[in-house]
Every structure is written in structure tokens, then in C-alpha cells.
A and B are shown apart, each in its own frame.
Chain A
Amino acid sequence: MSVFQGFRFRRVTSPIHSLDPRAKFVFVLALFVVAVLFSDLVPLLVLFFVPLPFVLAAGVRREWLRSLRGAVFLAVLIFVFNFVFGYLYKTSTTAVLLEFSFAMSLRFVVLVESFSVFFLTTSPDHLSLALEQSHVPYDFTFAFTTAVRFVPVLAEEAETIMDAQKARGLELERGNFLKRVRNYIPILIPLIVSAIRRSLELAEAMESRAWGASPKHTNLYVLKLRRGDFVILIFSVVLLVVGVYVRYFVSIPHLSTFLPPLPF
């Protein structure tokens, strides 16, 4: 659940928040591509620190750490899997294997981290605006923003429903696995029925506010690329170019060569 906390947008203004989401997305994509290019620890370590100044400038350090914490479990899993697999099939020396496994889990973390920074610093309506201006059909962007708008409402409703059923003697904590799953039916059904009712009311309201009146849908706001956005775009391109160059033309030493030989 904490992985999702890291992705939830919190209303804050910062220079990072005001950047065009499209520019930010290109940056995240560049980071993603470069991370996938490498299996070596050193460049991945560098990549890990690249988004940090953005995190600090945006003031979302706490949420960002929370998202990392959420990713730790899977990162450890990846580490263990790679190490055990490599060890059993004796693909290389233990020291190199350790470094490799660590690099793999770090790569996962870098991917999570870059997307987390994107979502933490982009408000949902900025995002939908970006989608709209990128010619994604309005129906989809509308469905997206409306869904995001109702997430806190549904969460609250789920809690109320749980309270209401607990107040009728429903025990959610007790019983074996099967019983516990069945105990969630009195929660799910009212939630689903309520969601259906809500959708109907929303549809009525939409129609009453001239939905479909014009095939050309205009927007109150418009996104314009500004200096800061161009800086990010150029930086992303540079990152990509440098990354490709290093990957294919520069040999990267293993960290383990700098360390004293390990006992095993």
C-alpha cells in the first residue's frame, strides 16, 4: 500500500510542479531507457542520484522515501532471485554476482523512483491536460480525471460501509482465510452498488451540462512549453546520448575489482 502512497499527488507548488508534464515525461522516459541499458552497478548508482535534486526542489522528499520503502520488498526479492540463480548455475565469481544482483535490484528501484517523481510532482489535471494536448481522445482523459477525483470519495465510502457492517456484528479480523474473504462481501456489494448509482447520477449531470454539444472540445487552460521545460528536454536528450555512448563505447569496471578479495 505504501507503494501507492508514493504515487499519490499532494497539492504543493514548486518549480518542478509547474513544469510541463510532457517535458517531465520525456525525462522519465530517458531515465527509464538508460536504466534498462545498463546491468552494471556504477552507472545505475549514478542514475539513482540523478532525480534527487528534483525531489528536493519539489519538496516531496517524504513521499518519495515512502515510495522507495514500498519498493524495497520487491527489490530484495530481485536481489535474492538473481543471486541464488547465479550461484546455483555458477555464472561468475561470488563477488561479481553480488554486485550484479545488487545492480539488478537497484535498476528496479531507479525505475520505480523515476515514475514516482513524475506522479508526485504532476497534478492529475495537469496530467490530463497534457494527455488532451497530446491528442488523446477527450473521453479517456475525462474518465481519468473523474476517476482520480473520486478516489478519496470512494475510499471514505468504503470506510463508512465497513463501519456500518461492523456495527451489525461483522468481524473482519476473525476466522480462517475463506471466511475472511466471505466477510468482505457485505463490504463489496454496497460499494459496487453505490458506484453504479453514482455513475448514473454523474451521467445525468454530464448530460445536463451539455456533454456532446460540440465535437470540438475547448479547454480553460493551455499548456505551453517554457524555458524550464526546454532545459529538461535538452537534459534528457543529453542523458540519453551520454548513456548510449557509455554503454557501447566505454568499458565499465566492476566495483569488486577495487575491493580486497573476499573470503569466499
Chain B
Amino acid sequence: MIEVKDVHFSYPTGVEALKGVSLSIGEGEFVAIMGQNGAGKTTLIKHFNGLLKPSKGEVLVDGVSTRDVSVAKLARTVGFVFQNPDHQLFSDTVYEEIAFGLRNFGFDAETVEKRVDWALNLLDLTEYAKTSPFLLSGGERKRVALASVLAWDPKVVILDEPTIGQDHRQKENLRQFIVQLNGQGKTVVVVTHDVEFVAECGPRVILMTGGEVIADGEAKKILTDTTLTLSASIVPPQITQIFLGLSDFGVPSDVIDVSEAKRILMDYLRGAGY
């Protein structure tokens, strides 16, 4: 679906943000790109929809090089939800906001109406169809931004730091929603530094630091590897931290999920004749 071939990228200021990144994301995958602020995560995903073109190397989306296609054309396949919804919202009503992308891509009026209604329903925004997006709360505006991207049904959905500023319940809803999206066959790429969020979803994790990919694999394996998390300057999930101090009891150390932690501990205690 998306192929990154030895991509180097430097900003006009001279900063080298990507130093030879190679990876490939297959259709229907669920990927989390992680690393601290400044590792190059956002720079990398901006190559996926052509906003940035590599200084060296190539990025292929569905077999086509991003250099050969306009951003608008790529956006049809690769939907990008930006971190701050306020950077997108400008319409009079939520309806118009969601219709914007659809109209840009040339859908006819009838399809636009159908798709907008569908998106409103999906994100629980039907009651706000005629409301100005600026009057909605922060969480609602995030949903409008998400709806406006999902409306044109892109094959890939990229979310840049979707959990920032969200409370626990909103994060939980988002997590379930993303898992659902992926379940429906969409390729989902999430850029985040929220380890707990990733620990709860368990996707494929691509770990970056200093413009390079230093790990690519199962969330469980990567988030529990202390050498890796240290070099990427990320904090391991709480459960992992807890289990780190229990290694001498013979319990497995690659635990990130609370339920699994419970199961392991219960098994251990039963086994010990508790």
C-alpha cells in the first residue's frame, strides 16, 4: 500500500529530519509510529500524502511515486487528520465542513449528501449538522475533523497525535473507533507518543528517533525492550514498568496490557498454590 524506499529529507532550513528510512505498510494494517517530539514522525507521514517530497529516495503509494502525483490526488487515497482540528475548520455549518473534501474530489451533489449524512451518523454528529463548527467543544471539533476526512472514504487514514488534550473517556472512544475502522479494512496509521494508548491497542509499532527507524514490530516486543525505549526517549507503559521489577520471580517481562498482567499474576499465584 505504502512503500518508503531509503528516504532522506531535509527542511529548507537545513535540518535533516529523515536519514534513510525504509519501510512498507500493507493494506489493512494498523500501525503506530512512535518516538519523542522531533524524532521525525510527522515529517515521515507527510510523505505519505505527498505534502513533502523526499530529498532522496522514493515513496510509493499504491505503486505510484508521490513525486508524480499532486497532493490533492494522493489525498483521495490517503486521508490525513491533522493534530489541531482548528487548522481545518472554516465553514458555516458542520455539514458544509464535511462536504468540503467531497466537493474538492468532484463528487456529485447526490453522493455528497449521502456521504455527509453517513459521516455525521458515524461520528455521532447528526444533531450538529446545521451548527457552526466554531461553537462546538474541543472534542466535538475533533470529531468533525475526523468525519470530514472519513467522508470521502480514503483507503488509508493517518491520524497525527489524536489523543492530545483528550480525557480518558474520549481516548477510550477513539481507541474503539480506530480499531473498528481497521476492522472494516482501512489501513490506519497513528502517530503518537502516548504509550498507554498504544499499549491498549496493540498495533504494529514503528519506533523512530533522530530521523531513523530503530525498531519495527509487535507493540509488546518493542515497548518492553528497555534499550529501545531508552534510545528513543519514550516512557514504557505503566504495566511494563511494574513487571520490570518482578523479573526475578520468573514472570514474563513483555507485558503491556492490564488484563494480560492480571492473567499472568493469577496464573502465577494459582501455580504457587495460592
Contacts and interface: CB of A to CB of B under 8 A. Distances in A.
Interface of A: 157, 160-161, 163-171, 185-186, 189-190, 193-194, 197
Interface stretch (B84-92, B238-246, B251-259): B84-92
Interface string B104-128: 1100000000000000000000000
A163 B88 contact: no
Chain B interface extent, by class = 20 to 34
Interface stretch (B71-79, B162-170, B185-193): B71-79
A168 B100 contact: yes
A163 B51 contact: yes
A164 B90 CA distance: 12
A239 to B, nearest CB: 39
A194 B51 contact: no
Contact of B75 (A157, A168, A190): A168
Contacts of B76: 169
Contacts, number: 60
A186 B91 CA distance: 8
A165 B88 contact: yes
Interface centre among A157, A165, A189, A197 (most CB of B within 10 A): A165
Contacts of B37: none
Contacts of B71: 166-167
A157 B88 CA distance: 11
Nearest to A163: B51
Contact of B82 (A167, A169, A185, A194): A167
A189 B88 CA distance: 9
A168 B149 CA distance: 7
Contact of B101 (A157, A169, A185, A190): A169
B49 interface: yes
A166 B49 CA distance: 10
18 contacts: A160-B84, A161-B87, A164-B88, A166-B51, A166-B72, A167-B51, A167-B75, A167-B80, A168-B104, A169-B75, A169-B76, A169-B101, A169-B105, A171-B104, A186-B90, A190-B86, A190-B88, A190-B89
Contacts of A194: 86-87
Contacts of B49: 167
A190 B149 CA distance: 17
Given A163-B46, A166-B51, A193-B134, A171 B72 contact: yes
Nearest to A192: B90
B72 A169 contact: yes
Given A168-B88, A190-B90, A193-B86, 18 more contacts: A160-B82, A160-B84, A163-B46, A164-B87, A164-B88, A165-B88, A166-B75, A167-B71, A167-B82, A169-B75, A169-B76, A169-B101, A169-B105, A185-B90, A186-B100, A193-B89, A193-B134, A197-B86
B148 interface: yes
Interface in B13-71: 46, 49, 51, 70-71
A170 B46 contact: no
Interface string B153-169: 00000000000000000
Chain A contact residues: helix, strand, loop or mixed: helix
Contacts of B84: 160
A25 B214 CA distance: 54
A179 to B, nearest CB: 12
Closest 10 CB pairs of A and B: A169-B104, A189-B90, A168-B101, A167-B80, A164-B82, A164-B87, A166-B71, A169-B72, A161-B87, A164-B88
Contacts of A163: 46, 51, 82
A160 B101 CA distance: 17
Nearest to A158: B87
A58 to B, nearest CB: 22
Contacts of A160: 82, 84, 87
Contacts of A168: 75, 88, 100-101, 104, 148-149
Contacts of A165: 88
A157 B86 CA distance: 11
A154 to B, nearest CB: 12
A133 B101 CA distance: 53
Contacts of A169: 72, 75-76, 101, 104-105, 152
Nearest to A183: B104
Contacts of B86: 190, 193-194, 197
A167 B70 CA distance: 10
Contacts of A186: 90, 100
B89 A170 contact: no
A170 B87 contact: no
Nearest to B49: A167
Nearest to B84: A160
Nearest to B104: A169
Contacts of A185: 90
Contacts of B148: 168
